Structure 1
Amino acid sequence: MSIEKTCTNVWNNCLQVIKDNIPARSFATWFEPIKALRIEGDVLTIQVPSLFFYEWLEEHYVNLLRKTVKQQLGENARLEYNIVVEKSSNSNPYTTNIPSNGNGAAGSKQSIPVPVALNRDIKNPFVIPGLQKLQVNPQLNQNYTFDNFIEGDCNRLARSAGYAVAQKPGGTSFNPLMVYGGVGLGKTHLVQAIGNEIKKNFPDKLVIYVSCEKFCQQFVDSLKNRTINDFVNFYQVMDVIIMDDVHNFAGKEKTQDIFFHIFNHLHQSGKQVILTSDQPPKDLSGLVERLLSRFKWGLSADMQIPDLETRMAILQKKMYSDGIELPYEVVEYVANNIDNNVRELEGAMVSLLAQSTLNKKEIDLDLAKSMLKNFIKNSHKEISIEYIQKLVCDYFEVPVEMVKSKTRKREIVQARQISMYLAKSYTKTSLKSIGAFFGGRDHSTVIYACQTVVDLIETDKKFKSYVQDIQKKLKLS
């Protein structure tokens, strides 16, 4: 068997173990691009796309990598990285080896600076005509920062990549950085936070934030006014372009063609491009293939609907910023029932505060329920422990009376623990009352059951799907 084949087999075996221990999205981002190069004795060498890639693996997955490699090659096994480092945009990449223990000297990224002269005759589409000197207002909202961006599992990859870009714009493998996701999930906040951080770290860099719609309008105006060269030159001298909602390029072939050339110039010059979209590049329609291929060059990171804890943290952060205090149960109630997007979540809180002020009423749970019925789903129907218990038992096809019994059969214990967990999450019932309802058990049993469910959700994909299915049924009831 050849060395290459042995190397590939060993790494594939490692990947099988790694895949079972991390989320699919993380595996696709951080492990699928890795190539196995060679095995020399007990040393496995793998190739990663960039120095930042290596640093991320060492910071977040070093223990998992160490265990899996030792599992394949024995206790004396070592892992080395072969890092692709670009010397310049016009040259072939070279590689450097770094051992996994972090003691190896990392080769610094090589680049050839591209001089940019700010021509006084370039017209700036963001300022009044006739301005003699190129002075760029980055068009950024100063309120959008990393400090007030709440991180959670739903956005951790996008936030981490965005922060890395802000520390080294144009100098990471995340170029372009594409942030995608549904409406109101924080895409614009994140990319503007990147822009603001870059301006803070590098005041002399030219940063511009522009919506795709605005860019298209400017292009049409430049055609009418015969100033297309000024339009292109303006964007080509930028150090960082942040373009929002690139899905709006769909069907606009001439505008796509112009942006394609601007993109190429910026990328080849080591400048940073940041994009947002409502879908990943592979699902975008109406865009020419050569532009889509450019969007796929860097990293595409999704923004998902935030989980309950993240939604509560978002509300608490907003309350703190506005100098407002609300009872914990009100925050929990709003966050529990509004799970579409962050914008709707904050809108509901603003509405609640307005109603409280106008009616001169103190905000409590009853007021929240009555005033936010237009926002909150299912507010007309209070979920009871009985209903949760019946739903869970029907789902697992076990008798309700068995869940209240003393039996320790695995399927009964599972149904009982999930019922307790959901009762705690979806009702205002105390732990003591929940325990009493399930056959006279005490509150410590409920706490243990809830913790067990949380642990299994994090480690058992099948169990997690059970809980999610039941939660969907609860929300639709």
Structure 2
Amino acid sequence: MQDLWNDVLDHIDEREGTSVLEGVRDLYRECRLERTGNRLLLVVPNGFVSRLVSGRHQESIIEACKILTGLEDLEFSISVSEEKKSKKPRQTPKPPLPVLKESASRDPSWESHLISRHTFDTYVVGESNRFAHAAAFQVSENPGKSYNPFYIYGGVGLGKTHLVNAIGNAILAKIPSSRILYLTSESFLNEMVSAIRFAKMIEFKERYRTIDVLIIDDIQFISTKEKTQEEFFHTFNSLFEKGKQIILTSDCPPNEIATLEERLRSRFASGLIADIQIPDFETKVAILIEKMKLEGIALPEDVIYFLATSIKSNIRELEGAMIRLGAYQTLMGKPVTMEVTRRLLSNLIQSAPAPVHTELIVNEVASYYKVSPKEIRSKKRNRSISVARQVAIFLLRDLTQMSFPEIGREMGGRDHSTAMYAFRSVEENRDSDAVLSRDIETLKRRLLQL
């Protein structure tokens, strides 16, 4: 029935315009329709998609199904896929760890310094890191052969360290006798300085040039150390010529490391370069759910969504906020509410420019677009009301820092996914729509002066 579901999505695009499913089409492609007589069951990958369908597109889907199947009395229902109920939004299925090919035991004298909790199983995949994850897994299956060197770059706290450790842990599970070493560039520098000081450079070179997989985090920090670059250049060449895997991370691509020697720059760029971007909303939610499961923390849904939309910088801050709230819940024995969340995380979450009352925003938007506040909160979908509603939702989020569930309830009891979609739609279109941009700026100026 996958063809029918694809036809349904295409029909909605043709009948109502491509903007209706904009931003969710990839999510919906993961669904499938099952038909039994006049009953149609839409199987979705997770609860997030279920709420998105029921809150925004169910009527359009049912209408398309009736037209395409000829069934006027069809019964439509939604179910979360059994095998994906515990999965996270937009997360690709986890590939299995490579099958063991060697039975040799691990060398007890060798310390890899790998972080054991960082595995592929605990790495959350989204659009921001999908390519890097796929490449990393391929490297773990064929070290020294697929992509060598493998260079990952991205901002602080986006999961580079997790991913490179996942590679090392997967290879170690596959070949326990592998000599894998994970360290930061600072540790490499310190070891080299110590070796020079105590006349142990021969031992240092022997140690680093007999490694099977070398993983160095934050390689950009060697760029200001001439002797370190010299030694790493020879180490790199020795390992590469022997077919050993080299994995590097940085906060920028090789050509942007200002004082890096050209010969190192060219070698870093000779393999595969993958970047990791700031995760989108769905991936942040998935990361929070995964981290909560690992830490034994349970936070309310509206708090999870609030964290995912409010903390924009990196995963590390997101995880820190979650742990702080979990600690409050455990130590104080009190539930974590939105009020508690805002108070505890006031230093992380930037407040709105000025407190603006919800009703004031809705009334001002209604007056500006010449509709009534009641119509904005209604189920009517004509263009003038829909535009006013989306702008109101955008301003509620922008000026009050209300969570999407709170905004949904304020806007006539809508689902949080509807509020989230409206906010994103305005955010994405305002740069290309001069009229919309002008309307928003005018309304913000008026509201902040009241």
> Quick check: TM above 0.5?
yes
- Please say if 1:401 is aligned against 2:370: yes
- Please say if 1:273 is aligned against 2:250: no
In the TM superposition, 1:175-324 aligns within 5 A as: 175-324=148-297
Aligned equivalents of 2:211, 2:393: Cα separation in 1: 56
The verdict on how the C-alpha distance between 1:432 and 1:138 changes in structure 2, with shifts beyond 3 A counting, is closer
Aligned to 1:150: 124
Question: Of residues 81, 86, 109 in structure 2, which corresponds to 1:135?
Answer: 109
| Structure 2 residue matching 1:147: 3-state secondary structure | helix
**1:249–1:286 CA contact under 8 A, matched in 2:** no
Aligned-pair distance for 1:186?
1.3
**1:236–1:262 CA contact under 8 A, matched in 2:** yes
Pick the structure with more helix per residue: 2
Question: Of residues 307, 324, 336 in structure 2, which corresponds to 1:351?
Answer: 324
| Structure 2 residue matching 1:353: 3-state secondary structure | helix
Aligned-pair distance for 1:374?
2.2
Aligned equivalents of 2:419, 2:317: Cα separation in 1: 32
Aligned-pair distance for 1:399?
3.9
Aligned to 1:342: 315
Range that drifts further, 409-418 or 292-301: 409-418
Aligned-pair distance for 1:410?
6.8
Unaligned runs of 5+ in 2: 1-106
Aligned equivalents of 1:364, 1:453: Cα separation in 2: 23
Aligned-pair distance for 1:135?
3.1
In the TM superposition, 1:394-433 aligns within 5 A as: 399-401=368-370, 414=387, 416-417=389-390, 419-420=392-393, 426-429=403-406, 431=408, 433=410
**1:330–1:364 CA contact under 8 A, matched in 2:** yes
Aligned equivalents of 1:179, 1:298: Cα separation in 2: 11
- Percent of counterpart pairs with the same letter? 38
May I ask how many residue pairs the two structures share in their alignment?
328
CA-atom RMSD in angstroms: 4.0
Aligned-pair distance for 1:220?
1.2
The verdict on how the C-alpha distance between 1:148 and 1:286 changes in structure 2, with shifts beyond 3 A counting, is same
Question: Of residues 371, 375, 400 in structure 1, which corresponds to 2:348?
Answer: 375
The verdict on how the C-alpha distance between 1:153 and 1:168 changes in structure 2, with shifts beyond 3 A counting, is same
- 1:434 maps to a residue whose letter is M
- 2:213 maps to a residue whose letter is V
The verdict on how the C-alpha distance between 1:140 and 1:291 changes in structure 2, with shifts beyond 3 A counting, is same
Aligned equivalents of 2:294, 2:331: Cα separation in 1: 21
- 2:334 maps to a residue whose letter is K
Q: Could you state the TM-score of these two structures normalised by the residue count of structure 1?
A: 0.59
* Larger relative contact order, structure 1 or 2 (CA cutoff 8 Å, min sep 6): 2
The verdict on how the C-alpha distance between 1:214 and 1:450 changes in structure 2, with shifts beyond 3 A counting, is closer
Aligned-pair distance for 1:215?
0.5
**1:208–1:238 CA contact under 8 A, matched in 2:** yes
| Structure 2 residue matching 1:209: 3-state secondary structure | strand
